[in-house]
Chain A
Amino acid sequence: MSGIRFENVSKRFGGVTAVDDLSLEIGSGEFVSILGPSGCGKTTLLRMLAGLERPTGGTISIGDRVVNELAPAQRNIAMVFQTYALYPHMTVAGNIEYPLRKRRVAKDERVRRVREAAAVLELEALLDRKPRELSGGQQQRVALGRALVRDPAVFLLDEPLSNLDAKLRTHMRAELIRLHRRIGRTMVYVTHDQLEAMTMSQRIAVLRDGRLQQFAPPRDIYARPGNDFVAGFIGTPSMNFLDGRLKGTGSGRTFRSGDLSLPLGMLPLTDEMPEPDRRVRLGIRPEHIHFDRQGEPARVNLVEPTGHETILVFDYRGNELVARMDGDIAIEAGDTVKLAFRAEKMRLFAAADGRRLNDDSTA
């Protein structure tokens, strides 16, 4: 079938490395998101897969074929572009039909398949319109139709929802998931929107500066981030970090930051620390912070009620700390409260390389 394999793939533009020695294996029929901040190389990765950019090093395979030397037309892929890239001088029907014409599909067959694709995407009434006469959502569906009509082995989607308004985006997200379920084709979805990646994908590849940070199912990405970048990138509001040092050993281990000291005895670590005074970052998600009479004092700097929850920004011994609390909480800026962290939800990262230090079993 049509899985995808990147092996040590690199791409350099002049002196700039866009993708750096990346290896990734995507299963056949899987929905995978490539997620990262802008400029992380995710679109370049997709364009290399499509054959629109040539990798500087490494091999890319689709199914059993190495496709490095194949033109886009020979790769049996379809792609939806962020700008939709509809052909402005062709009608909707002409746009959807184009890939079939280029593959010399017979006229009757073409008409039938265009009609089928149009039916799936509810475009029947628009077939004779030109792209500029369509709304953004309709254009988006035409772009999908053009990809769908050919029944390719792999779908590549480059931020296809980013030009839609919020409501339509939510709707199209659900549509895409349904579409994937129905056709069961491999889909590679590039996005900078963690919500899209989290809700739609079976697995997410997080990229930063052209390097793969982690490749795992959404739940693991959130609960077991591989390093402090992934931890900070996924989740809104993002994870809080406290910089400090690790003291003691075994169950007597503590995290020290200034005059703050937190016991870490119940947090098993992946490796034994050789140095006793290791520099670490402690990560705690906003929803894992709670009020506790035995906790550390913190001053409320900002209260942001959103209705179903309240986002609180604290001054916690000189660190800014963001917490997510109940929507009906009665608290005001300037109040001083006592806070504690859910110990088993704390994550510990090495300050040097950002690697997560606590064991997976505590997730």
Chain B
Amino acid sequence: MSTPARIARRFLFNVLAWAVVLVIAFPLLWMLLTSVKPSSELFVIPPRLLPGEITFEHYRRLLTETPFLTYLRNSAWLAAGTTLVVISIATLGAHSLVRFSYPGRERLARLVLFTYLLPSVVLIIPLYLLMAGLGLANTLTSLIIAYTTFALPYALWLLRSFMKAIPDDLESAALVDGANRMQAFVDVILPQALPGIISTAMFTAILAWNEYFYALVLVNNDAARPLTTGVINMLVTSFNIEWSLLMAASVMMSLPLIVVFAFLQRYLTRGFSAGAIKG
């Protein structure tokens, strides 16, 4: 037993792990610190990590003088709407892909995966024309539909692997016990799939919350802009970047995700592992 060697190895491992954490966390830390620095301290040379004076002025300005709250509300609607649509369809769809046997079922499942191969850039012009034709251009609805196109296949695939893990016999038992198909689904399958549904819902919400590209192309008025494009549009111009406001906005954009992560982290990690299992 080479105890010193083991201690050394563990020490090395810890140093490495902390180094990785630091590299990943530093920009976030910098963002947080910058958002509470007075603008005058931003560009001092040499740069200072800790603010000399803490101010919440940028937050106040952001909330009172800009459409930030409108963007926030739009983003919230988008995330909630997309998640609701995607989860409703994906839950039933995944159940069908796992439990019902019909010709082309496996092919359909693979086709869903195939949609990943298409870069979203290819789809964006047709989608825009489609939305314009439907009279939905510049609406949140158009974004919910657009997000659904890429979030749904992902959610289907993820939920499929969760549903596969639920034993067939459970549903059979419910049917024999007197439930019809829908009751068996609601009474027995849904409660079993709930962790999977929660983690899929989180992935979907994060996807919608962070989406930039579709929002940029499909929406160009402030009433329907989400945070991602809204903040950039308002604070980053060709002449100036409002760094303090940008950092404050970034902090507030990240906050909801961090809160959600903190509460539902265990579901999220389950989602990662479920996605890793070959469907």
Identify the A interface with B (CB < 8 A).
47, 50-52, 71-73, 77-79, 81-83, 85-89, 98-99, 102-103, 146, 150, 156
In Å, the complex CA distance between A83 and B170 comes to 9
Identify the B interface with A (CB < 8 A).
167, 169-170, 172-180, 183, 187-188, 191-192
If A50-B172, A52-B172 touch, whether A89 touches B177 (CB-CB below 8 Å) is no
| Nearest CB of chain B from residue A90's CB, rounded to whole Å | 8
If A87-B188, A89-B191 touch, whether A73 touches B170 (CB-CB below 8 Å) is no
Considering the complex, give the chain B residue whose CB is closest to the CB of A14: B101
Max chain B C-beta neighbours (<10 A), residue from A51, A79, A89, A102: A102
Kindly identify which residue among A51, A79, A89 contacts B173, using a CB–CB cutoff of 8 Å: A79
* A77 pairs with B178, CB closer than 8 A: no
Number of A-B contacts (CB under 8 A): 61
* A78 pairs with B176, CB closer than 8 A: yes
* B178 pairs with A52, CB closer than 8 A: no
If A52-B172, A83-B167, A83-B169 touch, whether A88 touches B192 (CB-CB below 8 Å) is yes
Kindly identify which residue among B167, B176, B187 contacts A77, using a CB–CB cutoff of 8 Å: B176
Considering the complex, give the chain A residue whose CB is closest to the CB of B178: A102
Residues of B within 8 A of A87 (CB): 170, 173-174, 187-188, 191
5 contacts between A and B (CB under 8 A): A86-B173, A87-B174, A89-B192, A102-B178, A102-B179
Kindly identify which residue among A50, A73, A103 contacts B180, using a CB–CB cutoff of 8 Å: A73
Residues of A within 8 A of B188 (CB): 87
Max chain B C-beta neighbours (<10 A), residue from A71, A72, A79, A88: A72
* A81 pairs with B175, CB closer than 8 A: no
* B177 pairs with A99, CB closer than 8 A: yes
In Å, the complex CA distance between A150 and B172 comes to 17
| Nearest CB of chain B from residue A111's CB, rounded to whole Å | 17
Kindly identify which residue among B169, B179, B191 contacts A85, using a CB–CB cutoff of 8 Å: B169
If A51-B175, A71-B175 touch, whether A85 touches B170 (CB-CB below 8 Å) is yes
* A81 pairs with B179, CB closer than 8 A: no
Kindly identify which residue among B169, B175, B191 contacts A73, using a CB–CB cutoff of 8 Å: B175
* A98 pairs with B177, CB closer than 8 A: yes
* A79 pairs with B191, CB closer than 8 A: no
| Nearest CB of chain B from residue A139's CB, rounded to whole Å | 13
| Nearest CB of chain B from residue A220's CB, rounded to whole Å | 32
Residues of B within 8 A of A99 (CB): 177-178
Residues of B within 8 A of A47 (CB): 172
| Nearest CB of chain A from residue B50's CB, rounded to whole Å | 50
* A79 pairs with B176, CB closer than 8 A: yes
| Nearest CB of chain A from residue B98's CB, rounded to whole Å | 16
| Nearest CB of chain A from residue B179's CB, rounded to whole Å | 5
Residues of B within 8 A of A102 (CB): 177-179, 183
| Nearest CB of chain A from residue B211's CB, rounded to whole Å | 34
Residues of B within 8 A of A78 (CB): 176-177
Considering the complex, give the chain B residue whose CB is closest to the CB of A78: B176
Known pairs A83-B167, A150-B178 / 6 extra A-B pairs, C-beta < 8 Å: A79-B172, A81-B173, A86-B173, A146-B173, A146-B177, A150-B177
In Å, the complex CA distance between A156 and B167 comes to 19
In Å, the complex CA distance between A83 and B177 comes to 16
In Å, the complex CA distance between A86 and B176 comes to 13
Residues of A within 8 A of B175 (CB): 51-52, 71-73
In Å, the complex CA distance between A194 and B192 comes to 36
Residues of A within 8 A of B179 (CB): 73, 102
| Nearest CB of chain B from residue A14's CB, rounded to whole Å | 10
Residues of B within 8 A of A85 (CB): 167, 169-170, 172-173
Considering the complex, give the chain B residue whose CB is closest to the CB of A75: B176
Residues of B within 8 A of A81 (CB): 169, 172-173
Considering the complex, give the chain B residue whose CB is closest to the CB of A76: B178
Considering the complex, give the chain B residue whose CB is closest to the CB of A88: B192
Residues of A within 8 A of B187 (CB): 87, 98
| Nearest CB of chain A from residue B73's CB, rounded to whole Å | 36
Considering the complex, give the chain A residue whose CB is closest to the CB of B179: A102
In Å, the complex CA distance between A150 and B179 comes to 14
| Nearest CB of chain B from residue A7's CB, rounded to whole Å | 22
What are the nearest 3 A-B pairs in CB distance? A102-B178, A85-B169, A85-B173
| Nearest CB of chain A from residue B266's CB, rounded to whole Å | 17
Residues of B within 8 A of A83 (CB): 167, 169
In Å, the complex CA distance between A81 and B176 comes to 11
Max chain A C-beta neighbours (<10 A), residue from B172, B174, B188: B172
Residues of A within 8 A of B172 (CB): 47, 50, 52, 72, 79, 81, 85
Residues of B within 8 A of A146 (CB): 173, 177
Considering the complex, give the chain A residue whose CB is closest to the CB of B194: A89
* B177 pairs with A50, CB closer than 8 A: no
| Nearest CB of chain B from residue A129's CB, rounded to whole Å | 17
In Å, the complex CA distance between A89 and B175 comes to 17
Residues of B within 8 A of A50 (CB): 172, 176
Max chain A C-beta neighbours (<10 A), residue from B167, B175, B191, B192: B175
Considering the complex, give the chain A residue whose CB is closest to the CB of B175: A72
